[in-house]
Protein backbone atom coordinates (compact mmCIF):
# COMPACT_ATOMS: atom_id res chain seq x y z
CA UNK A 1 0.00 0.00 0.00
CA UNK A 2 1.45 3.33 -1.02
CA UNK A 3 2.34 5.90 1.59
CA UNK A 4 0.36 9.15 1.68
CA UNK A 5 2.56 12.16 2.38
CA UNK A 6 1.23 15.06 4.41
CA UNK A 7 0.94 18.36 2.49
CA UNK A 8 3.09 19.88 5.24
CA UNK A 9 5.94 17.47 4.63
CA UNK A 10 9.25 19.27 3.90
CA UNK A 11 9.64 17.41 0.61
CA UNK A 12 6.17 18.54 -0.48
CA UNK A 13 6.89 22.17 0.49
CA UNK A 14 10.21 22.10 -1.38
CA UNK A 15 8.58 20.55 -4.45
CA UNK A 16 5.82 23.15 -4.54
CA UNK A 17 8.32 25.96 -4.06
CA UNK A 18 10.55 24.75 -6.89
CA UNK A 19 7.74 23.75 -9.27
CA UNK A 20 5.61 26.85 -8.79
CA UNK A 21 8.70 29.06 -8.82
CA UNK A 22 9.70 27.64 -12.21
CA UNK A 23 6.19 27.99 -13.71
CA UNK A 24 5.81 31.51 -12.32
CA UNK A 25 9.22 32.47 -13.71
CA UNK A 26 8.25 31.15 -17.16
CA UNK A 27 4.96 33.09 -17.03
CA UNK A 28 6.80 36.22 -15.92
CA UNK A 29 9.28 35.75 -18.79
CA UNK A 30 6.35 35.57 -21.18
CA UNK A 31 5.16 38.96 -19.99
CA UNK A 32 8.56 40.63 -20.53
CA UNK A 33 8.25 43.98 -22.26
CA UNK A 34 4.74 44.54 -20.93
CA UNK A 35 3.83 48.06 -19.82
CA UNK A 36 2.67 46.58 -16.49
CA UNK A 37 5.86 44.60 -15.75
CA UNK A 38 6.03 46.04 -12.24
CA UNK A 39 2.51 44.68 -11.57
CA UNK A 40 3.51 41.28 -12.98
CA UNK A 41 6.54 41.10 -10.68
CA UNK A 42 4.42 41.94 -7.64
CA UNK A 43 1.76 39.41 -8.66
CA UNK A 44 4.47 36.75 -9.17
CA UNK A 45 5.80 37.22 -5.64
CA UNK A 46 2.29 37.28 -4.12
CA UNK A 47 1.20 34.27 -6.23
CA UNK A 48 4.17 32.23 -5.05
CA UNK A 49 3.29 33.07 -1.45
CA UNK A 50 -0.34 32.09 -2.13
CA UNK A 51 0.80 28.75 -3.61
CA UNK A 52 2.70 27.99 -0.41
CA UNK A 53 -0.25 29.09 1.73
CA UNK A 54 -2.44 26.55 -0.10
CA UNK A 55 -0.56 23.71 1.62
CA UNK A 56 -1.97 24.84 4.98
CA UNK A 57 -5.13 26.71 3.96
CA UNK A 58 -6.15 25.37 0.52
CA UNK A 59 -9.38 27.34 0.07
CA UNK A 60 -8.05 30.69 1.25
CA UNK A 61 -4.80 30.28 -0.67
CA UNK A 62 -6.64 29.30 -3.85
CA UNK A 63 -9.02 32.26 -3.62
CA UNK A 64 -6.09 34.63 -3.04
CA UNK A 65 -4.32 33.30 -6.14
CA UNK A 66 -7.60 33.51 -8.09
CA UNK A 67 -7.97 37.20 -7.23
CA UNK A 68 -4.38 37.76 -8.36
CA UNK A 69 -5.17 35.95 -11.64
CA UNK A 70 -7.59 38.75 -12.55
CA UNK A 71 -4.63 41.16 -12.54
CA UNK A 72 -1.96 39.16 -14.36
CA UNK A 73 -1.44 35.83 -16.19
CA UNK A 74 1.59 35.32 -13.94
CA UNK A 75 -0.78 34.16 -11.17
CA UNK A 76 -2.42 31.50 -13.41
CA UNK A 77 -0.12 28.63 -12.21
CA UNK A 78 -0.87 29.43 -8.55
CA UNK A 79 -4.62 29.75 -9.21
CA UNK A 80 -4.87 26.47 -11.12
CA UNK A 81 -2.78 24.65 -8.52
CA UNK A 82 -5.09 26.07 -5.84
CA UNK A 83 -8.13 24.68 -7.63
CA UNK A 84 -6.43 21.28 -7.75
CA UNK A 85 -5.51 21.44 -4.06
CA UNK A 86 -9.08 22.31 -3.07
CA UNK A 87 -10.47 19.51 -5.26
CA UNK A 88 -8.14 17.02 -3.57
CA UNK A 89 -8.69 18.11 0.02
CA UNK A 90 -12.20 19.60 0.24
CA UNK A 91 -15.73 18.53 -0.56
CA UNK A 92 -16.99 18.65 -4.12
CA UNK A 93 -19.31 21.70 -3.68
CA UNK A 94 -16.43 23.77 -2.26
CA UNK A 95 -14.11 22.59 -5.04
CA UNK A 96 -16.73 23.42 -7.69
CA UNK A 97 -17.19 26.91 -6.23
CA UNK A 98 -13.42 27.57 -6.27
CA UNK A 99 -13.22 26.28 -9.87
CA UNK A 100 -16.10 28.57 -10.91
CA UNK A 101 -14.32 31.52 -9.27
CA UNK A 102 -11.14 30.59 -11.16
CA UNK A 103 -12.97 30.52 -14.50
CA UNK A 104 -14.59 33.87 -13.77
CA UNK A 105 -11.20 35.35 -12.81
CA UNK A 106 -9.61 34.15 -16.05
CA UNK A 107 -12.57 35.50 -18.02
CA UNK A 108 -11.84 38.91 -16.48
CA UNK A 109 -8.14 38.42 -17.23
CA UNK A 110 -8.88 37.57 -20.86
CA UNK A 111 -11.10 40.63 -21.22
CA UNK A 112 -8.64 43.02 -19.52
CA UNK A 113 -5.39 41.61 -20.89
CA UNK A 114 -6.41 39.66 -24.00
CA UNK A 115 -4.07 37.13 -25.57
CA UNK A 116 -3.30 38.17 -29.10
CA UNK A 117 -2.87 34.55 -30.24
CA UNK A 118 -6.41 33.31 -29.30
CA UNK A 119 -9.91 34.72 -29.29
CA UNK A 120 -11.85 35.37 -26.09
CA UNK A 121 -14.36 32.57 -26.83
CA UNK A 122 -11.62 29.98 -27.37
CA UNK A 123 -9.82 31.33 -24.32
CA UNK A 124 -12.97 30.83 -22.24
CA UNK A 125 -13.46 27.30 -23.65
CA UNK A 126 -9.84 26.41 -22.86
CA UNK A 127 -10.14 27.75 -19.31
CA UNK A 128 -13.40 25.81 -18.69
CA UNK A 129 -11.83 22.59 -19.99
CA UNK A 130 -8.72 23.09 -17.85
CA UNK A 131 -10.66 23.78 -14.66
CA UNK A 132 -13.02 20.87 -15.38
CA UNK A 133 -10.02 18.55 -15.78
CA UNK A 134 -8.48 19.87 -12.54
CA UNK A 135 -11.77 19.38 -10.70
CA UNK A 136 -12.10 15.77 -11.93
CA UNK A 137 -8.45 14.97 -11.27
CA UNK A 138 -8.70 16.34 -7.72
CA UNK A 139 -11.90 14.41 -7.02
CA UNK A 140 -10.27 11.22 -8.26
CA UNK A 141 -7.22 11.82 -6.07
CA UNK A 142 -9.45 12.54 -3.07
CA UNK A 143 -11.37 9.30 -3.62
CA UNK A 144 -8.14 7.35 -3.95
CA UNK A 145 -6.78 8.86 -0.75
CA UNK A 146 -10.00 8.06 1.09
CA UNK A 147 -9.84 4.50 -0.24
CA UNK A 148 -6.24 4.08 0.91
CA UNK A 149 -7.06 5.44 4.35
CA UNK A 150 -10.06 3.13 4.58
CA UNK A 151 -7.99 0.11 3.53
CA UNK A 152 -5.31 1.01 6.05
CA UNK A 153 -7.88 1.31 8.83
CA UNK A 154 -9.48 -1.97 7.82
CA UNK A 155 -6.08 -3.65 7.79
CA UNK A 156 -5.35 -2.25 11.24
CA UNK A 157 -8.74 -3.44 12.53
CA UNK A 158 -8.17 -6.86 10.97
CA UNK A 159 -4.75 -7.07 12.58
CA UNK A 160 -6.19 -6.05 15.94
CA UNK A 161 -9.02 -8.55 15.58
CA UNK A 162 -6.56 -11.26 14.61
CA UNK A 163 -4.48 -10.44 17.69
CA UNK A 164 -7.57 -10.67 19.85
CA UNK A 165 -8.53 -14.04 18.33
CA UNK A 166 -5.01 -15.34 18.87
CA UNK A 167 -5.10 -14.19 22.52
CA UNK A 168 -8.48 -15.85 23.04
CA UNK A 169 -7.24 -19.05 21.40
CA UNK A 170 -4.18 -19.07 23.64
CA UNK A 171 -6.33 -18.53 26.73
CA UNK A 172 -8.68 -21.33 25.69
CA UNK A 173 -5.70 -23.60 25.11
CA UNK A 174 -4.33 -22.76 28.55
CA UNK A 175 -7.68 -23.63 30.11
CA UNK A 176 -7.73 -26.90 28.20
CA UNK A 177 -4.23 -27.72 29.39
CA UNK A 178 -5.21 -26.92 32.96
CA UNK A 179 -8.08 -29.41 32.70
CA UNK A 180 -5.77 -32.01 31.16
CA UNK A 181 -3.23 -31.47 33.92
CA UNK A 182 -5.88 -31.87 36.61
CA UNK A 183 -7.33 -35.03 35.06
CA UNK A 184 -3.94 -36.65 34.56
CA UNK A 185 -2.30 -35.76 37.84
CA UNK A 186 -5.36 -36.16 40.05
CA UNK A 187 -5.80 -39.76 38.89
CA UNK A 188 -2.11 -40.66 39.18
CA UNK A 189 -1.53 -38.93 42.52
CA UNK A 190 -4.64 -40.48 44.03
CA UNK A 191 -3.10 -43.87 43.30
CA UNK A 192 0.12 -42.72 44.95
CA UNK A 193 -1.84 -41.45 47.97
CA UNK A 194 -3.59 -44.80 48.31
CA UNK A 195 -0.33 -46.75 48.47
CA UNK A 196 1.28 -44.14 50.72
CA UNK A 197 -1.69 -44.49 53.06
CA UNK A 198 -1.15 -48.23 53.19
CA UNK A 199 2.47 -47.63 54.22
CA UNK A 200 1.33 -45.27 56.96
CA UNK A 201 -1.45 -47.43 58.44
CA UNK A 202 0.30 -50.82 58.09
CA UNK A 203 3.78 -50.26 59.54
CA UNK A 204 3.80 -53.86 60.72
CA UNK A 205 3.86 -55.24 57.19
CA UNK A 206 6.72 -57.42 56.11
CA UNK A 207 9.77 -55.78 54.52
CA UNK A 208 8.83 -57.33 51.19
CA UNK A 209 5.34 -55.77 51.31
CA UNK A 210 6.73 -52.41 52.39
CA UNK A 211 9.30 -52.52 49.58
CA UNK A 212 6.60 -53.46 47.05
CA UNK A 213 4.34 -50.62 48.21
CA UNK A 214 7.25 -48.18 48.12
CA UNK A 215 8.05 -49.34 44.59
CA UNK A 216 4.47 -48.72 43.52
CA UNK A 217 4.65 -45.20 45.02
CA UNK A 218 7.93 -44.53 43.22
CA UNK A 219 6.54 -45.82 39.90
CA UNK A 220 3.36 -43.76 40.35
CA UNK A 221 5.31 -40.58 40.99
CA UNK A 222 7.50 -41.32 37.96
CA UNK A 223 4.42 -41.82 35.75
CA UNK A 224 2.88 -38.63 37.13
CA UNK A 225 6.00 -36.71 36.17
CA UNK A 226 6.00 -38.25 32.70
CA UNK A 227 2.35 -37.34 32.15
CA UNK A 228 3.03 -33.82 33.46
CA UNK A 229 5.88 -33.57 30.94
CA UNK A 230 3.49 -34.46 28.13
CA UNK A 231 1.01 -31.78 29.22
CA UNK A 232 3.68 -29.10 29.58
CA UNK A 233 5.17 -30.23 26.27
CA UNK A 234 2.09 -28.88 24.51
CA UNK A 235 3.27 -25.38 25.44
CA UNK A 236 6.42 -25.73 23.35
CA UNK A 237 7.05 -23.60 20.32
CA UNK A 238 6.12 -24.96 16.86
CA UNK A 239 9.85 -25.47 16.15
CA UNK A 240 9.80 -28.47 18.45
CA UNK A 241 7.70 -30.56 16.06
CA UNK A 242 10.40 -33.22 15.91
CA UNK A 243 9.58 -34.10 19.54
CA UNK A 244 6.37 -36.03 18.98
CA UNK A 245 4.23 -36.54 22.06
CA UNK A 246 2.17 -39.60 22.75
CA UNK A 247 -1.52 -39.14 21.93
CA UNK A 248 -3.98 -38.68 24.76
CA UNK A 249 -5.63 -41.99 25.71
CA UNK A 250 -9.12 -42.87 24.62
CA UNK A 251 -11.42 -45.76 25.48
CA UNK A 252 -8.78 -48.09 24.06
CA UNK A 253 -6.73 -47.28 27.16
CA UNK A 254 -9.61 -48.08 29.52
CA UNK A 255 -8.39 -51.61 30.42
CA UNK A 256 -5.05 -50.18 31.58
CA UNK A 257 -6.87 -47.54 33.65
CA UNK A 258 -9.03 -50.22 35.32
CA UNK A 259 -5.97 -52.41 35.93
CA UNK A 260 -4.12 -49.56 37.67
CA UNK A 261 -7.12 -48.91 39.90
CA UNK A 262 -7.44 -52.59 40.83
CA UNK A 263 -3.72 -52.81 41.53
CA UNK A 264 -4.13 -49.92 43.98
CA UNK A 265 -6.76 -51.97 45.85
CA UNK A 266 -9.86 -50.33 44.37
CA UNK A 267 -12.54 -52.89 43.48
CA UNK A 268 -13.81 -51.99 40.00
CA UNK A 269 -16.51 -53.79 38.00
CA UNK A 270 -16.55 -52.84 34.32
CA UNK A 271 -19.57 -53.50 32.12
CA UNK A 272 -18.74 -52.56 28.54
CA UNK A 273 -21.65 -52.81 26.08
CA UNK A 274 -20.18 -50.51 23.43
CA UNK A 275 -20.59 -52.17 20.04
CA UNK A 276 -17.62 -50.65 18.22
CA UNK A 277 -15.13 -48.64 20.25
CA UNK A 278 -12.88 -48.01 17.24
CA UNK A 279 -15.73 -46.17 15.46
CA UNK A 280 -15.87 -43.48 18.15
CA UNK A 281 -14.60 -40.04 17.12
CA UNK A 282 -11.22 -39.40 18.80
CA UNK A 283 -12.50 -36.37 20.75
CA UNK A 284 -15.48 -38.33 22.11
CA UNK A 285 -13.26 -41.29 22.98
CA UNK A 286 -10.83 -39.09 24.92
CA UNK A 287 -13.66 -37.34 26.75
CA UNK A 288 -15.20 -40.69 27.70
CA UNK A 289 -11.85 -41.86 29.06
CA UNK A 290 -11.61 -38.70 31.18
CA UNK A 291 -15.13 -39.24 32.55
CA UNK A 292 -14.24 -42.74 33.74
CA UNK A 293 -10.89 -41.54 35.05
CA UNK A 294 -12.49 -38.72 37.04
CA UNK A 295 -15.14 -41.09 38.43
CA UNK A 296 -12.50 -43.53 39.65
CA UNK A 297 -10.40 -40.70 41.08
CA UNK A 298 -13.34 -39.25 43.02
CA UNK A 299 -14.32 -42.67 44.35
CA UNK A 300 -10.76 -43.37 45.45
CA UNK A 301 -10.44 -40.00 47.22
CA UNK A 302 -13.85 -39.78 48.89
CA UNK A 303 -14.92 -43.43 49.20
CA UNK A 304 -11.73 -45.48 49.66
CA UNK A 305 -11.99 -49.26 49.47
CA UNK A 306 -15.59 -49.00 48.24
CA UNK A 307 -16.49 -50.96 45.10
CA UNK A 308 -16.96 -48.95 41.91
CA UNK A 309 -19.19 -49.96 39.03
CA UNK A 310 -18.48 -48.60 35.55
CA UNK A 311 -21.07 -49.05 32.78
CA UNK A 312 -20.64 -48.11 29.13
CA UNK A 313 -23.18 -48.51 26.37
CA UNK A 314 -23.99 -47.03 22.99
CA UNK A 315 -23.72 -47.46 19.26
CA UNK A 316 -23.06 -45.27 16.20
CA UNK A 317 -25.97 -42.96 15.43
CA UNK A 318 -27.18 -42.89 19.05
CA UNK A 319 -25.19 -41.74 22.09
CA UNK A 320 -22.38 -43.03 24.25
CA UNK A 321 -23.63 -43.46 27.81
CA UNK A 322 -21.18 -43.61 30.72
CA UNK A 323 -22.09 -44.27 34.33
CA UNK A 324 -19.80 -44.56 37.34
CA UNK A 325 -21.39 -45.56 40.68
CA UNK A 326 -19.94 -46.20 44.09
CA UNK A 327 -21.38 -46.48 47.60
CA UNK A 328 -20.67 -43.59 49.93
CA UNK A 329 -18.64 -44.34 53.07
CA UNK A 330 -20.13 -43.90 56.53
CA UNK A 331 -20.37 -40.33 57.78
CA UNK A 332 -17.18 -39.03 59.35
CA UNK A 333 -14.85 -41.15 57.23
CA UNK A 334 -11.87 -39.03 56.17
CA UNK A 335 -10.98 -38.74 52.54
CA UNK A 336 -7.59 -39.96 51.37
CA UNK A 337 -6.82 -36.79 49.41
CA UNK A 338 -8.36 -33.32 49.58
CA UNK A 339 -10.53 -32.07 46.77
CA UNK A 340 -12.81 -29.14 46.14
CA UNK A 341 -14.92 -30.49 43.29
CA UNK A 342 -13.03 -28.53 40.65
CA UNK A 343 -12.36 -31.71 38.73
CA UNK A 344 -16.09 -32.21 38.17
CA UNK A 345 -16.45 -28.57 37.16
CA UNK A 346 -13.74 -28.95 34.53
CA UNK A 347 -15.15 -32.30 33.43
CA UNK A 348 -18.62 -30.79 33.00
CA UNK A 349 -17.15 -28.10 30.76
CA UNK A 350 -15.19 -30.70 28.78
CA UNK A 351 -18.30 -32.80 28.18
CA UNK A 352 -20.29 -29.71 27.22
CA UNK A 353 -17.66 -28.67 24.67
CA UNK A 354 -17.88 -32.17 23.19
CA UNK A 355 -21.62 -31.65 22.68
CA UNK A 356 -22.70 -33.88 25.55
CA UNK A 357 -24.20 -33.63 29.01
CA UNK A 358 -22.88 -34.63 32.44
CA UNK A 359 -24.69 -35.03 35.73
CA UNK A 360 -23.54 -36.11 39.19
CA UNK A 361 -25.23 -36.40 42.54
CA UNK A 362 -25.23 -38.37 45.78
CA UNK A 363 -28.27 -39.47 47.73
CA UNK A 364 -26.51 -40.22 50.99
CA UNK A 365 -25.97 -43.88 50.14
CA UNK A 366 -24.51 -43.81 46.64
CA UNK A 367 -22.67 -41.36 44.41
CA UNK A 368 -23.50 -41.46 40.70
CA UNK A 369 -21.64 -39.85 37.80
CA UNK A 370 -23.48 -39.98 34.49
CA UNK A 371 -22.53 -38.64 31.07
CA UNK A 372 -24.02 -38.75 27.58
CA UNK A 373 -21.79 -38.02 24.58
CA UNK A 374 -22.87 -37.72 20.93
CA UNK A 375 -21.89 -40.58 18.63
CA UNK A 376 -22.51 -39.70 14.97
CA UNK A 377 -23.44 -42.49 12.61
Q: Which pLDDT tens digit goes with each residue over 117-172? A: 677 777 778 888 888 888 888 888 888 888 888 888 888 888 888 878 777 766 77
Q: Rounded to a whole number, what is the largest CA-CA distance in the chain?
A: 130
Question: Any idea which of 63-77, 195-209, 248-262, 359-373 has the lowest mean pLDDT?
Answer: 195-209
- Residue 143 to residues 88, 89, 136, 137: CA-CA distances in angstroms? 8, 10, 11, 10
Q: Which pLDDT tens digit goes with each residue over 14-71? A: 776 677 777 777 776 766 656 666 777 788 888 878 877 887 888 888 888 888 888 8
* Burial track 313-346 (b if 16+ CB lie within 10 A, e otherwise): ebeeeebbbbbbbbebeeeeeeebbeeeeebbeb
Relative to beta strand 319-327, strand 268-274 is unpaired
Burial class (CB within 10 angstroms; exposed 0-12, middle 13-18, buried 19+) of 104: middle
Parts of the chain belonging to CATH 3.30.565.10: 250-377
Query: What is d(CA 21, CA 27) in angstroms, rounded to the nearest whole number?
Result: 10
CATH of domain 250-377: 3.30.565.10
Query: What is d(CA 72, CA 370) in angstroms, rounded to the nearest whole number?
Result: 95
Cut 0.75: pTM above it = no
Amino acid sequence: MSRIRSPHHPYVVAGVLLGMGALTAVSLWGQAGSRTWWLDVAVAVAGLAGALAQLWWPVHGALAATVLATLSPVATPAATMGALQVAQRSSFPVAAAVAAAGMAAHLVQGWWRPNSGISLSWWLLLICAAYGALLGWGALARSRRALLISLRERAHRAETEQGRRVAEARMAERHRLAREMHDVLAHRLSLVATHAGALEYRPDSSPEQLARAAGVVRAGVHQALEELRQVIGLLREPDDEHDELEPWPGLAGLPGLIADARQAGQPVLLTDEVTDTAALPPAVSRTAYRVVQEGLTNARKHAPEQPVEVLLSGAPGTSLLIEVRNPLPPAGTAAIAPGGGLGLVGLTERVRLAGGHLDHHGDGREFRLWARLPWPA
